[in-house]
Chains A and B, each alone.
Chain A
Amino acid sequence: MSTVSLVLWIIFLPFIAYFLGVLLLGWGKKYTARLQRRYGPYLFQVFFDSIKLLRKRTNISHGWMQDVSVLMLLGGTILTMYFVPFPGFHFFSQYGDFLVVMYLILVPSLGMALGVGETANPNGSIGISRALQMLAGYDIPFALAFIGMAMIHGSTNFYELILRQQELGIAGWGIVTNPFLGIAALFALHGMMGEKPFEVVIAPHEIATGPMTEMGGKYMGMMMITHALQVVVELTIFINLFLGGAENWITYIIKIFALFTIILSVNAVFGRFRVDDAVRFFWKIPLPLAVIGVIFVMI
């Protein structure tokens, strides 16, 4: 990869991912709206939201930690993104394996926790504690899925994983070679994305959007952007692990929309679990599945 193209990728990847994220979220809103027998917002609604939020004139801050936390959110997410291979861009992912990703993906959550702690809102605190509980729920199955995939392919490197899967076509996809791990990871992904029934962190009817309660104006704008990026990153990780990665942008977009639609379908027809039920669910179904998957691999 030439230096020029690398620099260009580094510069433009966040924008591309943001654009993709906006589209995905817009599609999500439209899709859900249809299910709810209505039309739904503009496709680029999230973009408009971000613009509006960033143009807010006043901005109530609860201290410098809140500012830092937002930067940590955005920065952490972008950094994670660089280590996740996208079609045509896998410079960093050649060097950093997905253990790095596993580590980096925690940075935004941490930033969030710090910032919300600063706002001293009980709802926020409850939200963060829920987020951490949820983490305990979905992270282990996800990590196990990672480990299982690494064991299958003998590598912890994303790029190599993708190449291995692509060699065999669909039959080589992680979800086919080890459906246990794939399904466990799908559940974990669902939890990671915080879609219903695992929406406990935000839960407007319970804790008034939890961590976001005190985030307004530009903070909220940054969070919106981060959210759009996170959606892309999380879905891409799953695609890379279990859906054979992306050969090119077309298949990538098809895969990412298809995957997101599956998640949305579940999201739209279920309510949310209680936090303990959610964690219990993760430990009851995805975790055993993942363990079986790993055992299966080991055999």
Chain B
Amino acid sequence: MSEKLTQRTAWNRVLDKLSGRSLWMLHYCTGCGAIELPPTMTGRFDMERFGIHPMVTPRQADILLITGYLSVKTLKRVILTYEQMQSPKWVVGFGSCTINGGMYWNSYATVKSLDQYMPVELYIAGCMPRPEAIISSFNELIDRIGRGEANSWKDYYENYDFYRKNQEHVFGGPINTRTDVKSDKETFRIQSAGK
């Protein structure tokens, strides 16, 4: 990991910094944490100050916010959406529910650990996290991108079988997402994050 860091050229470093200044988040309210997104986006906290802007289609988005619990039904849509996003892409888990099930730990309808289904870049503590915490998490993400450390997305290409197995376990059968992750890995020559 650290070797890879040192391999970044100065040019790449600059570009990484610049890229970090523009993050588009997918405007997908997967759970109740989404209620704190409007205040974060709008006048009171104004996350656009950091170049973060909601985007409506996954093709254009860089960040996928999992705003809390994920019901199985939503998870299916989230996976499709995630696979449609263009790499590099980052998943931010909001609050307790994404970590260990949160208050829905005994619910039959929600999945408990987000990182079983897709690589997560950051988690934010809270139920739900306040706008201040959300903005801090974005700043943290921007820093990590600037430092070239935000590479969790590569994990999806690398350990695709693991994620797919867990996904299929939850759905009770194979799913067809129409995104060929494995060939994408070849086509775009995505190397492992070194994990």
Report A's interface with B, CB cutoff 8 A. 29, 33, 36-42, 45, 47-49, 51-53, 55-60, 204, 208-209, 212-217, 220
Contacts and interface: CB of A to CB of B under 8 A. Distances in A.
Given A40-B48, A41-B50, A58-B86, 11 more contacts: A40-B46, A40-B49, A41-B49, A48-B22, A57-B86, A57-B88, A58-B184, A59-B86, A60-B59, A209-B56, A209-B57
A217 B59 contact: yes
A149 to B, nearest CB: 38
Given A41-B51, A57-B188, A48 B43 contact: no
Interface range for B: 20 to 34
Majority-rule SS of B interface residues: loop
A56 B21 CA distance: 14
A216 B57 CA distance: 9
B176 to A, nearest CB: 16
Interface string B38-72: 00001100101111010111111010000000000
B42 A41 contact: no
Nearest to A37: B43
A56 B59 contact: no
Contacts of B55: 209
Contacts of A49: 22, 24, 51
Interface in B142-166: none
Interface of B: 15, 18-19, 21-24, 42-43, 46, 48-51, 53, 55-60, 62, 84-88, 179, 184, 187-188, 190
B1 to A, nearest CB: 18
B87 A58 contact: yes
Contact of B60 (A48, A57, A58, A215): A215
